[in-house]
Structure 1
Amino acid sequence: MTPIDAVGPVLARFRTAPTPRGEGRTPHNLAVLAAAAARDLDVARLAEAHLDATTILAELGGPAPAPGTCWGVWAAETGADPLHEAGGRLSGRKRFCSGAAGPCTHALVTVEGGRLFAIDLADSGIAVHAGEWHALGMRGSAAATVDLDDVPATEIGRPGAYLERPGFWHGAIAVAAAWFGGASGVAAPLRRAGRDGRLDAHGLAHLGAVDADLAAARAVLRDAATTLDTQPPGAWDVERRRALQVRAVVEAAVDSALTRSGRALGPAPLAGDAAHAQRVADLQVYVRQSHAERDLADLGALVPVDEDPLS
């Protein structure tokens, strides 16, 4: 499992204090996430969740995370015995809780009825079941099932505010920045082979295609980050469309890096480079936070009839 001292240096690089727009905070934070993901996707996944939690708390008027803490955001709504609240205390089960078996000290958790609560993971009513994650990918993200038994909790924002805020979609773009960093890391052996003259014409074609796809992903991420940093939030559907566009472009770059690196280089990097093999496995799991064709269908429903091609 990923320890907190592996995540801490990334958290320290974020610019998370509330500041006026236009100071470069969003481009900086997405660049930090992408750089971390190119090295270690487990660390980036945990750092992305902490950044999301920090943003949510600021947006909904909650307390700022204390120095030295690591927060998760546990919003999966699956399985039986969902969380419920009574008298400011939570009971029930939450699945797919990244960081629960690792560095997280606190978490934001969703509860039936669209409510959001903050909890301290040191509470004796919390039981973490860490042995249920069988995938080879993202194993270090310390995902687990968590049982809560009469755990004290602080409600954050009004019911429904977590999903209704424009910042929900800004967090979705941050996830894409981590995917992008992972794709860049996966493509590293292909870039090295090109630099060392080990690629034939077909291999160079794969490298060129990956380079173009990563450039497109980088461009949409930078444009989105600049927009978020310099313009006030738009309507909910505007923010949603932007996020879905970014995620679609980045997901295509991820698929390109995974598929074309394998086709160009064969099994050698997967068989002989443990770090690369782990990065591939991690990225294949992480990018499935996308909802694939369902996300594309949602994006298609948001496309206007007429739009300035250069607007």
Structure 2
Amino acid sequence: MNRTPESPRPAAVRISSAPEQLAGLTPLLETARAAVGDVPALLQLAKTAAEEAPKPGQGRTAYLWEILASVTAVDVAAGRAIEPHLDATAILAQASQAVPNVQDHPTFNGHTFAGAWGVFAAEAAGLRLHATTADGSFLLHGAKPWCSLAPELDHAVVTAHLDDGGRAAFAVDLHAPGVSFDDPLWTSHGLREIPSGTVHFDAVPAMPLGDAGWYYRRPGFAWGGMGVAACWLGGAVAVARGFKAALLTAAAGGRDPDQLALASLGEIDRTLTALSGYLAWTAGRIDAGELSDTGAWSEALRIRGNVASAVERIQALVSQNLGPAPLAFDPVYGKRTADLSLYIRQHHGMRDDAQLGALTLKGDHPW
């Protein structure tokens, strides 16, 4: 049988949309391929993607996740760059009822709400960001860790501690006086173009997004976590596509895949097919209003855990089959492997499973 390798043209990752819908993503994916390694171009890609992407929970959640997965399948760092911007725009939309006329808030002077956004919600020992009130406004004091691309961004949604012990979300202008950035000690081989460092705030005006705890209570918190998992899925699809292409290339040269390679490809196929179906089903439940309150975070933990485990399994299968050569000589394969390995560490493994176990013990499970 005459077999040829797959075309390198970027292809969308299908979760549930019709092929003709996904065909419309081709220009965005071509742009993503051209932007690899170029941070300003990646941030422009994020803004372009936000113009095309629907908001979660508004009837087209699966298509939003297909955008995230498809861009990540082109380049993991590109997916990592666009996901926070799309999440921030969703958070701002969700906060609109709590903050009427959000773009008119004096923090942003009406016209400066556009630009590239990040979401900074991580915590770290020895670093703490406080929000205090002064003349009816909020000011941020302290430091926030793990702020990816912060010096390159215009704005961010950040979480900060309140005087009463709670935490709230705020929108902040990263060009405002009082904002400064540490030079990240970023030695990672993965996501090299997405360094994460600490941002310092010295009496920086900030706009509250909802009340204390709103950021974590809203169902969009869980939906955003699922969106990250959609990115991971896209990275896994890229690994699988590369493996299939390598087997076809070898077959075209006269070396057919052995049973072990075919078994690995079969396992990868059923894993990705099952995950895609699970995300499609969950997206439908979100759009139907079934995950707007209880159960949303449990479902997010299931999706994130299943996708993270699948990524590691698929990477292991492909690496075992292809051996050291692509890691040593294929820069695309090596970059994808390093980027994806770091990206999925946003999943906290057994600690996230412990959260899910606690919810399961309380009866929050479908079985």
TM-score, normalized by length of structure 1? 0.90
Q: Determine which of 253, 257, 260 is the counterpart of 1:202.
A: 260
In structure 2, what is the equivalent of residue 101 of structure 1? 151
Q: Determine which of 132, 148, 154 is the counterpart of 2:201.
A: 148
Q: Determine which of 107, 122, 125 is the counterpart of 1:76.
A: 122
Matched residue of 1:93: which SS? strand
Q: Which runs of 5+ in 1 are unaligned?
A: none
In structure 2, what is the equivalent of residue 9 of structure 1? 45
CA distance 1:18–1:173, change in 2 (3 Å): closer
CA distance 1:149–1:35, change in 2 (3 Å): same
In structure 2, what is the equivalent of residue 58 of structure 1? 93
Q: Determine which of 295, 306, 311 is the counterpart of 1:249.
A: 306
Provide, for residues 162-218 of structure 1, a one-character-per-residue CA deviation record: whole Å limited to 9, x for no partner.
011111100110000000011111223311123232422211111111121111221
Corresponding letter in the other structure for 1:235: D
Is the 1:216–1:249 contact (alpha carbons within 8 Å) kept by the matching residues of 2?
no
Is the 1:137–1:282 contact (alpha carbons within 8 Å) kept by the matching residues of 2?
yes
Is the 2:131–2:139 contact (alpha carbons within 8 Å) kept by the matching residues of 1?
yes
In structure 2, what is the equivalent of residue 164 of structure 1? 217
In structure 2, what is the equivalent of residue 177 of structure 1? 230
Per-residue deviation, 1:231: 2.4
Per-residue deviation, 1:5: 2.2
In percent, how many aligned pairs have the same letter? 36
TM-score, normalized by length of structure 2? 0.77
CA RMSD of aligned residues (A): 2.4
Give the Cα–Cα distance (whole angstroms) in 2 for the partners of residues 74 and 2 of structure 1: 22
In structure 1, what is the equivalent of residue 354 of structure 2? 297
Q: Determine which of 223, 226, 234 is the counterpart of 2:281.
A: 223
Matched residue of 1:255: which SS? helix
Deviates more, 1:274-283 or 1:186-195: 186-195
Matched residue of 2:193: which SS? helix
Provide, for residues 128-154 of structure 1, a one-character-per-residue CA deviation record: whole Å limited to 9, x for no partner.
123322221122123221111121111
Structure whose CA Rg is larger = 2
Q: Which runs of 5+ in 2 are unaligned?
A: 1-36, 104-110
Provide, for residues 89-112 of structure 1, a one-character-per-residue CA deviation record: whole Å limited to 9, x for no partner.
21211110012133x210011111
Matched residue of 2:150: which SS? coil
Corresponding letter in the other structure for 1:6: L
Corresponding letter in the other structure for 2:155: H
Provide, for residues 250-269 of structure 1, a one-character-per-residue CA deviation record: whole Å limited to 9, x for no partner.
11220122100100000111
CA distance 1:34–1:20, change in 2 (3 Å): closer
Number of residue-to-residue matches in the alignment = 305
Is the 1:48–1:175 contact (alpha carbons within 8 Å) kept by the matching residues of 2?
yes
Is the 2:171–2:209 contact (alpha carbons within 8 Å) kept by the matching residues of 1?
yes
Q: Determine which of 71, 74, 93 is the counterpart of 1:36.
A: 71
Give the Cα–Cα distance (whole angstroms) in 1 for the partners of residues 306 and 124 of structure 2: 28
1:21 is aligned to 2:70: no
Is the 2:57–2:286 contact (alpha carbons within 8 Å) kept by the matching residues of 1?
no
Matched residue of 2:158: which SS? strand
Per-residue deviation, 1:44: 1.0
Corresponding letter in the other structure for 1:172: G
Is the 1:101–1:143 contact (alpha carbons within 8 Å) kept by the matching residues of 2?
no
